[in-house]
Amino acid sequence: MRPFSPGREEERPIFVAHRGASDRALENSPAAFALAVSDGADMIEFDVRLSADGVPVVFHDDRTGRTAKENLAVARTPASRLRAVRLKNGEKLPFLADVLEIVGGSVPIDIESKAPGGIAAAAKALSRAGYGGELLLSSGLREECLAARDLLPGIPCGLVTRRPSASDLAFCLRRGLSSIHPDRRFLTVLRLRNVAASGVPLLPYTVDDPEEAFGLIAAGAAGVFSNRAQTLREEWNRR
């Protein structure tokens, strides 16, 4: 596996495919990931939770009901049972190993751990797969960010947060995190200035409007997470 560091190309923002090409296929589904790969996405982001027996599952919510045909608690369901779950588009619920196979190292990926132990399980899956693609890790759980620095010190890790507080920025700087990923709804002018002053690369989520995305980039963002990443990239290239 190889590191991917947001902001390494100052003149070229990255438009991250949030949960795959989720404007054209069901989020966090094999179809969404395959579409993002065919787009040649700047990066694909997806979420990892753990089954009851510790297998990394690619799913955002703690329960499957919103995007699957059954409503199960991921953390209380063994992997063997989750493998039988069908998403609402008819595809099987993907595990991390499945997504690594779909992407195949062809585009960078951002694995966001949504549960304690997610980074450790992801590290094992990456090693088992012999994954050679570019990689960013991230989490809204500080303990998971620390696990990333301990287990995969050569791979960058970003902190996901609701808003980039002074405490968040200090944590990123103190622990050598690669970036901060805040909710764009809570980005005030002052907060944008504080992030810029810190030098920590900024990647807000989830930004689907081109004017908002380009305004954030003009204010210093290294890029944005978007459900419409391909559309934003095409619009940026036309400008």
List pLDDT tens digits, range 151-208.
999 999 999 999 999 999 999 999 999 999 999 999 999 999 999 999 999 999 999 9
Query: Do 72 and 81 meet the contact criterion of CB atoms below 8 Å apart?
Result: yes
Is 178 part of a structural domain of the chain?
yes
Q: What is the 3-state secondary structure (H, E, C) of 114-150?
A: CCCCHHHHHHHHHHHHCCCCEEEEEECCHHHHHHHHH
Structure tokens at 49: 């939770």
pLDDT band for 239, please (50, 70, 90 cuts): confident
Is 201 part of a structural domain of the chain?
yes
Global pTM value: 0.97
Domain count, the chain: 1
Q: Can you give the CATH number for the domain in which 66 is found?
A: 3.20.20.190
C-alpha–C-alpha distance, residues 206 and 194, integer Å: 20
Is 7 part of a structural domain of the chain?
no
How does pLDDT run across 111-123, given as a tens digit for each residue?
A: 999 999 999 999 9
C-alpha–C-alpha distance, residues 149 and 202, integer Å: 19
Is 202 part of a structural domain of the chain?
yes
How does pLDDT run across 208-230, given as a tens digit for each residue?
A: 999 999 999 999 999 999 999 99
C-alpha–C-alpha distance, residues 208 and 26, integer Å: 16
Q: What pLDDT is attached to residue 7?
A: 76
Is 1 part of a structural domain of the chain?
no
Nearest one of 99, 106, 107 to 125, comparing CA atoms: 99
Q: Which domain holds residue 207?
A: 12-238
